[in-house]
Structure 1
Amino acid sequence: MPEQGNTVNEEIINKYQETIENHLTVVKKDIAAACKAAGRDPSEVHIVAVSKFHSAAEVCAAQACGLTHFGENRVQELLPKQDAVAAADCDVSWHLIGTLQRNKVRQVIGKVALIHSVDSLRLLKEINKRAANEGIVQPILFQVNLSGVDNKHGLSVPELIDILSNQISEFPHVQVKGLMTMAEFDWDDDQLDRFFAEFKKTFDLAKTSLPESMREVFSIISAGMSQDFVQAIRHGATHVRIGTAIFGPRHYK
């Protein structure tokens, strides 16, 4: 059985490292090929290794393979894993990529390099309030729901543009660095291409909707996961959130 907890030692790290390195080699080749086809530089694409349901030792093994950015979906899993990785002297940056409840905001402010999943004005207000209390500026991405399905998290495009055009200056303790979205798992290549192309158009519209002073740092397109990152890269993704293709199957508890 894989280690489910946060025990980290050299023996456990070594057990995972070769497998992760082999997987990562394949992922990097796929990224390079996608970039070449799109006329992009592979250095423009950053991997956020999704460590949900993987152990702290696996994070440290991935860090030994050169990965530095790790994404977690749940605050209650992020915090103890973050402590265990830090105790093992593994220097990594953490991203919160899953749904964030407003009552959990205070637990993550200042502890993650980037919150990818700001999906409502109410959540934005809470993040700004908690960041102000800590005297910091919290980098965020707005999550966009392009599907129009009500049960999907994310702002609609009109909601997003309204916030960026008319309200964002009211939140000085957040730094809006870009947008995030998620495609459906069962879409074919043509559907994915249309979806990510539309998301790139939304990103461009959002950038021009911001006050001019905020546009330079608005540069992140967080799109694409293990099953569709190649298509996302074709359409400008700068950050791809990859879990299974790097770590292998998740160890569900």
Structure 2
Amino acid sequence: MTDSPATVRPDRRAEIAAGLAGVRSRVADACAAAGRDDSEVTMIAVTKTYPAGDVLALAGLGVVDMGENRNQEASVKAAEVAAAGVTPRWHFIGQLQRNKARSVVRYADVVHSVDSVRLARALDTASAATRDRPLEALIQVSIDSDVARGGALPGSADPGAGLDAVAEAVAGAEALRLAGLMAVAPLGWEPERAFARLAEVVAEFRAVHPGATVLSAGMSGDLEIAIRYGATHVRVGSALLGMRPTLR
């Protein structure tokens, strides 16, 4: 039995409220330790595998930003939430195939995973055809330059996947807005090492693209370190909503 998207059980609402209070406290403490104001950091509630009812509960608690990483799940969930009269700011944070671009741009406000010139062009074409405002795009950066994991490559002259080439493609697109960068700490890397390296990439990137100020980095297990190294957006799922079986 699944939760109705239009209703949220009181006990589940209380669980989510407690999780939200804990995450907000962690963010505030991390910002204080880093000498930053907590208004500088946006929490994205990663609602993948959780029902639409949880999105409604989060929205009722003041959360605006929701993250999804599978288009098939996200498109249905976004429609259910909209039918309930709630319009959160949807972030698509997963790897994205070009043939899904037209579907994603119909509901997403921000795409975090632009990692190639070809994907940038596909999103631009889809956005121009279906949206009345530019799609905000973050370029996913490969911290360890492992092409198998996805992400544009800093310092690479690759015309299709080098960070400079992807940034130029996004910045030059009519229906996209280059908002900033996104990264995930590579497997096997300590978060301190990963985000310190990311901070170096960000500094070089912003020297060329000063208006691209968003840095999406940090998740439930490492958000404090990401905030110390300048994250403006943290993506939080399990610490906020608890563990849940994967939806199929």
Q: Deviations over 1:175-229 (max 9, x none)?
A: 0000000013554xxx21121122122112112223xxxx33x110000011111
Residue 233 of structure 1 aligns with which residue?
227
Structure 1: how far apart are the matches of 2:76 and 2:135?
21
Which letter does structure 1 place at the counterpart of 2:240? I
Residue 23 of structure 1 aligns with which residue?
19
Displacement, 1:130?
A: 1.5
Q: Deviations over 1:36-92 (max 9, x none)?
A: 111000110101000000000011111112111000001100111011111112231
Residue 171 of structure 1 aligns with which residue?
173
Kept after mapping to 2: 8 A contact 1:17/1:65: no
Residue 106 of structure 1 aligns with which residue?
102
Displacement, 1:14?
A: 2.6
Which letter does structure 2 place at the counterpart of 1:233? I
Displacement, 1:93?
A: 1.1
1:62 corresponds to which of 58, 61, 67: 58
1:222 corresponds to which of 204, 207, 216: 216
User: Runs ≥4 in structure 1, deviation > 3 angstroms?
Assistant: 166-170, 184-187
Query: Could you tell me the TM-score, scaled by structure 2's length?
Result: 0.91
Kept after mapping to 2: 8 A contact 1:110/1:136: no
Kept after mapping to 2: 8 A contact 1:47/1:241: yes
Residue 202 of structure 1 aligns with which residue?
201
Residue 148 of structure 2 aligns with which residue?
151
User: Superposition RMSD on alpha carbons, in Å?
Assistant: 1.7
Which letter does structure 2 place at the counterpart of 1:144? V
SS at match of 1:109: helix
Kept after mapping to 2: 8 A contact 1:120/1:155: yes
Which letter does structure 1 place at the counterpart of 2:129? N
Q: Deviations over 1:5-64 (max 9, x none)?
A: 6x2233x34331100111111111111111111100011010100000000001111111
2:124 corresponds to which of 119, 128, 141: 128
Sort the Cα spacing of 1:169 and 1:51 in 2 relative to 1 into closer, same or farther, 3 A. Answer: closer
Kept after mapping to 2: 8 A contact 1:14/1:61: no
Which letter does structure 1 place at the counterpart of 2:208? S
Kept after mapping to 2: 8 A contact 1:49/1:241: yes
1:42 maps onto 2:44 in alignment: no
Residue 5 of structure 2 aligns with which residue?
8
Kept after mapping to 1: 8 A contact 2:5/2:84: yes
User: What aligned pairs does 1:87-106 form with structure 2 within 5 A after superposition?
Assistant: 87-106=83-102
Q: Deviations over 1:110-134 (max 9, x none)?
A: 4211000001111011111122223
Residue 243 of structure 1 aligns with which residue?
237
Sort the Cα spacing of 1:170 and 1:55 in 2 relative to 1 into closer, same or farther, 3 A. Answer: same
Sort the Cα spacing of 1:45 and 1:87 in 2 relative to 1 into closer, same or farther, 3 A. Answer: same
Structure 2: how far apart are the matches of 1:111 and 1:249?
26
Structure 2: how far apart are the matches of 1:18 and 1:249?
15
SS at match of 1:151: helix
Which letter does structure 2 place at the counterpart of 1:206? F
Which letter does structure 2 place at the counterpart of 1:126? A
Question: What is the count of residue pairs matched by the alignment?
Answer: 240
Q: Percentage identity across aligned positions?
A: 35
